Amino acid sequence: MKLIAFNKINLVGLTLAISSSAIAQSNSDGRPVYTPNDKIYSKTITPLLKSAPRSLAAQKLAPSSFPDEAEILCSYDQCTFGLTRGLVLGGDVFGMAYAPLRQYFDPNWESGDLYLIDVFGGFQILRDVDNKSFMNAQIGYRRISYSNNGNTIADQGISLKVNYSAQITPVFLFGISFATYQANNATTTDSNSILTSSTNHANFSKSAGYFYRISQKYPTYQISLPGDLEVANWGSEDTGLIAPIRVYAHVEPFYIQNNINFVYDNINLKKQEQNFGIRVAGTSSFESQQGDKAGRYAFLCSLGLDVQTSVFSSTNTSANADADLPARNWISPYVNIAASWQF
């Protein structure tokens, strides 16, 4: 009888240990655990914040926080897939897929053929859930090629991006992002067309202008200081959903520099555009129940404006070499939609 009782005690202890271990693993990424019978019915913090604040980085919807293992995050800028904890692969899936379709949808399309390759690998350098600090880096390969009227303009090079964020207060997330695209000199199949005296200069100028318009999405240098302030959220008692809907005010000062260089033995065309601006947007997010890793999902939607200056300059350019390049608009809409899914 004593032996049976002892075995039962051991069995109960082992069961509790396994249960505790499973719970610890499910919470190891710092995400809250929501279950259908445990919706968030918290007391009102402020008239607009009705549940505990939670940053976009903690939801893995901020640039500084890569997806976890077997998790994919897609947005307008890029898609990222988590291979193992911290290691990811990705690329500008939307940009690559849209490139050959621009002739049907882009009002600025001239003619010809466009293709883009933009892939990268990345690593989550820091994911400090306790101190709410996140940092990652990615490095990749990019090539842009545009052919029009028998003239092909292309460049290729290495892309690098580093993102960091820290939660300054429970409702405010501050970050810094740096990106660069170190491309070789742009090439053209008709170097003489760079000269304004060439009979093909008009075609070159149009092609270079459209090529530059595409490359504006991939700056030579970009530095930004994104900040997200959680201004409102609504819990289950308001929405009937398993988790809160959150709204953030997004403010992001930025500096952008775009270079385009055509360098040949006796012909040089080097132009640079610099932009100082600020992005102001409203962002909303929703995060599904987190009890199990498989099947988790999250959504983000941002809508706002970019306001910026634009200054062009030329350096070491031949006297009669030129191209008509479009400047960034001083004000332009900003829209971003992102979604993540854990397999």
Residue with more model confidence, 332 or 130: 332
- Report the sign of the C-alpha dihedral through residues 74, 77, 82, 86, in that order: negative
With bands split at pLDDT 50, 70 and 90, how would you rate the model's confidence at 295?
confident
pLDDT reading at 98 higher than 50: yes
Least confident of 112-126, 153-167, 289-303: 289-303
pLDDT of residue 38: 44
pLDDT of residue 4: 44
Cα distance between residue 158 and residue 263, in whole Å: 19
Write down the number of H helices and E strands in the chain. Answer: 5, 15
pLDDT reading at 21 higher than 60: no
Q: What is the mean pLDDT of residues 104-112?
A: 90
Residue with more model confidence, 85 or 219: 219
- Per-residue pLDDT of 63-91, as tens digits, reads 999 999 899 999 999 999 999 879 999 99
Q: What is the mean pLDDT of residues 171-175?
A: 96
With bands split at pLDDT 50, 70 and 90, how would you rate the model's confidence at 204?
very high
Q: What is the mean pLDDT of residues 87-107?
A: 95
pTM of the model: 0.84
Give how far Cα 287 sits from Cα of 66, 226, 337, Å.
15, 21, 14
CA atoms within 13 A on the CB side of 197: 4
Least confident of 39-48, 129-138, 142-151, 253-262: 39-48
CB 100 within 8 A of CB 44: no
| Percent of the chain whose predicted confidence (pLDDT) is above 90 | 65
Strands 227-234 and 221-224: unpaired
Least confident of 13-22, 64-73, 114-123, 188-197: 13-22
pLDDT reading at 29 higher than 80: no
